[in-house]
Amino acid sequence: MYRDDISNAILNQTGQVAYLVWGQEIETVGNMTQLHKVEFEQWQKDDLIYVAETLEDAANHYGIDATKLQETIAAYNESIKDEVDEDFNKGGKLRPISEGKFYIQKVVPSTHHTMGGLKINEHAEVIDTNGNVIKGLFAAGEVTGGIHGTNRLGGNAITDIIVFGRIAGTNVSK
């Protein structure tokens, strides 16, 4: 699934929220609560993440139908026995969600990169609506448009930030 598909599916849900759920066996391997200890503690304070002893407790905390959550997790665990995730096409090492503690995190779509903005030329100079250079105004990165089209691959924005940032910086210093 692509991020647009996931975002649209979440936005079509009641409350426009989804939940990430993982068990202790995934936490043991990923160690996310320790690698991101400060963030994890803040998310707990903000009630964006909850640690539960059972899936039922995890569901009840956020007002989710516990039976549906348990059925969904059971179906997922069954589907990955052959190391294939046909529902979400996840790759990599697929791990079951079967051992407590259970971690449940509230998630919503968010903007992580804008795809439109100021028009620039090859010198990173900003172009006005008449196609003229705005003298002394330079731009790079997310404030510019036309580099990636309507979407981008993760990490691709780094190149235009570095390239056009350097071009803009060089031209500003002249």
Question: Annotated catalytic, 166?
Answer: no
In angstroms, rounded to a whole number, what is the distance separating the alpha carbons of residues 84 and 26? Answer: 17
Please report which residue ranges of the chain form alpha helices under DSSP H.
3-11, 24-30, 32-35, 37-45, 55-62, 66-79, 156-172
Task: Quote the CA–CA distance of 36 and 44 in Å, as a whole number.
Answer: 12
Partners of 119 in beta bridges: 127
CB neighbour class for 21 (10 Å; exposed up to 12, middle 13-18, buried from 19): buried
Q: What Cα–Cα distance (Å) separates residue 151 from each residue in 111, 113, 157?
A: 12, 9, 10
Place of tokens 């320790």: 34
Annotated active-site residue in 3, 95, 152, 166: 3
Non-local CB neighbours of 132 within 8 Å, separated by 6+ positions: none
Which residues are known to be catalytic? 3
